[in-house]
Amino acid sequence: MSQTTFYQATASRTAYPSLTSNMEADVCIIGAGFAGLATALGLLERGIKNVVVLEAQCVGFGASGRNGGFVFGGYSLDNQELYRQLGPQKAAAMYQLTIDAVNLIRQRIEKYQISCDKNESGVLLANWFDDDRSLLAQRDFMRTAFSVDWEWIKRDQLQEALQSECYFGALHEKNAFHFHPLKYAQGLAQVLSHGGVAIYEQSQVLHVSDQGTGKKVTTHTGATIQAKHVVVACGGYIESLYPKLSRAVLPIATYVMATEALHQKLTTAMRTQAAVYDTRFAFDYYRPLADTRLLWGGRISIAQRTPEQVQRLLYRDMLKVYPQLEGTQVDFAWSGLMSYGRHKMPQIGQLADGTWYGLGFGGHGVAPTTLAGELLAQAIANGQSLPKGFERYGLPTTFGYLGLLGAQATYWYYELRDWLKQ
């Protein structure tokens, strides 16, 4: 099976040159994923055009171009845990920032006419466990704590939408949507390029050093950027570029596959256009695609697997939920690295040496990456402080390989707990 993802196969890529000559810029952004592109666009929309974006591979190469395509509120940290940690007012304000980011993504798609297969059918949180009380308690909590209305869908109603024996009702987040993430990333890059922002691919950054009142960014080609501000937005692919940041994130793999076009066969499983995930810790997530394929994702691991291995794992997961899809061909399967902070919250801020950063979005990143871009753009362009709440979350070490082993063990523990609860 090819290493090409479904997204790569169905997006028309614009190629950008490598950096081959020295330049000066107001802002140099390292990483052309959602966080880096959102920061650049936030700056451009605030009148700062002398911006350079450097990407080691190509636009949207990492998690931004490989994810499930869900655009909804919240962070990787559980909503109730966020509320417990921050208290009612800060937690509500922090959650609202992600809703604002969802709406901003929607507005940018419309404003800039980005063609990215946007589907406004919302997201369903399907209950894997035979207990309405937990689902209703979650609905009530979201209403009370965050003024968010997730509509309860009863079991018989859900059975009509999802032809599976695995689910016992659902909550419908109507303000959410889903889309083709790589097309969106490429659309943002085109908007930036047309607006005067310089984007360079195949331009890996090797070193960032202090240089007078700014920073000197050196790439593997030998070319440099002299910049007043540097933003690091590398996510799970940061490697050893910035040790203080590298030590603060765990690169965790997740797996995704896309079936062949199913046409009418899709309705034997799904009779809704909503995206779906479930209430287990080790949940499946999936959605119907514009061409009637089914995109299916799940599992987290410290290991990136081959497409064939990913296909075998996820195909088995899909048939647990929809045995009627047995015999369906899988055309694409892939993995990718997300970045997780130990506290499961985004890491957005400025180091003591003046370097800005936005990373740690793993597992729930589409809206928070856009949020990070806005916060960083406001800080750089307007001198605006970060909202209250983020100060609690910093850059605690993840303990390298020991942290990865701990993350894998934790996942297996909760996976076992889900199984026992079922």
Q: pLDDT tens digits, residue range 235-280?
A: 888 888 888 898 888 888 889 999 999 999 999 999 999 999 999 9
pLDDT higher at 55 or 389: 55
How many domains are contained in the chain?
Answer: 1
Helices then strands, each counted (H, E), the chain: 11, 18
Please report, for residues 63, 250, 317, the alpha-carbon distance to residue 69 in angstroms, rounded to integers and kept in the order given. 10, 21, 19
Q: 333 and 298 in contact (C-beta within 8 Å)?
A: no
Cross-strand partners of 211? 214
Residue 290 CB neighbour total at 10 angstroms = 12
Nearest to 389, CA basis, from 356, 324, 343? 343
Closest CA to 375 of 9, 168, 101: 101
- Reported as a single tens digit per residue, the pLDDT across 172-215 is 999 999 999 999 999 999 999 999 999 999 999 999 999 888 99
* Predicted pLDDT of residue 420: 62
Query: Is the pLDDT score of 405 beyond 80?
Result: no
Task: Read off the pLDDT of residues 34-75 as tens digits, 9 standing for 90 and up.
Answer: 999 999 999 999 999 999 999 999 999 999 999 999 999 999
Would residue 110 count as lying in a domain?
yes
Output 43 or 415, whichever has higher pLDDT. Answer: 43
- Tens digits of per-residue pLDDT, 92-121? 999 999 999 999 999 999 999 999 999 999
For the chain, give percent helix, strand, coil, nearest 5. 40, 25, 40
Phi first, then psi, for residue 93 (nearest 5°) are -65, -40
What are residue 125's phi and psi, to 5 degrees? -95, 100
Note whether 279 and 166 are within 8 A (CB). no
120-142 average pLDDT score:
96
368 has pLDDT over 80: yes
Question: How far is residue 241's CA from residue 6's CA, in Å, rounded to a whole number?
Answer: 29
**Structural domain that includes position 318:** 19-421
**Which of 393, 404, 275 is closest to 338 using CA atoms?**
404
Please say whether the beta carbons of 124 and 275 come within 8 A: yes
The reported pLDDT for the residue numbered 2 is: 66
pLDDT, one tens digit per residue, over 306-336 is 899 999 999 999 999 999 999 999 999 999 8
> What is the pLDDT at residue 236?
80
Query: Is 13 a member of any domain?
Result: no
Task: Return the higher-pLDDT residue of 125 and 282.
Answer: 125
pLDDT at position 125 is 98
Among residues 277, 274, 273, 293, the alpha carbon closest in space to that of 285 is found at: 277
In a domain, 392, yes or no: yes
Mean pLDDT confidence for 116-130: 97
Q: Measure CA of the first residue to CA of the last residue in the chain; give whole Å.
A: 34
The confidence score (pLDDT) of residue 390 equals: 84
In this predicted structure, what is the pLDDT of residue 166? 96
Which tokens hold the place of 56? 């080691």
4-34 confidence digits (pLDDT tens) = 999 999 999 999 999 999 999 999 999 999 9
Q: What is the mean pLDDT of residues 290-315?
A: 89
Are 245 and 395 contacting, i.e. CB atoms less than 8 angstroms apart?
yes
pTM of the model: 0.94
Distance CA 66, CA 72 (A): 17
The residues that bridge with 254 in the sheet, in sequence order, are 300, 336
Determine, yes or no, domain membership for 301.
yes
DSSP 8-state class, residue 355? -
Q: Does any domain span residue 353?
A: yes
Report the CATH number at residue 307.
3.50.50.60
Asked if residue 63 lies in contact with residue 37, where contact means CB atoms within 8 angstroms, the answer is no
* SS3 track for 222-289: CCEEEEEEEEECCHHHCCCCCHHHHCCCEEEEEEEEEECCCHHHHHHCECCCCEEEECCCCCEEEEEC
Residue with the bigger pLDDT between 220 and 414: it is: 220
pLDDT value at 413 more than 70: no
* Cα–Cα distance, 87 to 85 (Å, whole number): 6
Q: Is 79 strand, coil or helix?
A: helix
Are the C-beta atoms of 35 and 93 separated by less than 8 Å? no
Give the count of beta carbons closer than 10 Å to the beta carbon of residue 244. Answer: 14
Q: CA 192 to CA 52: how far, in whole Å?
A: 10
Say what the pLDDT of residue 302 is. Answer: 64
DSSP 8-state assignment for residue 13:
P
CB 121 within 8 A of CB 288: no
Residue 24 domain-assigned?
Answer: yes
Say if 3 falls within a structural domain: no
Cα(387)–Cα(238) distance, integer angstroms: 25
In a domain, residue 205? The reply is: yes
Contact 302, 252 (CB under 8 A): yes
Q: Which residues pair with 151 in a beta bridge?
A: 172
Instruction: Report the distance separating Cα 70 and Cα 289, nearest Å.
Output: 12
Asked if residue 32 lies in contact with residue 53, where contact means CB atoms within 8 angstroms, the answer is yes
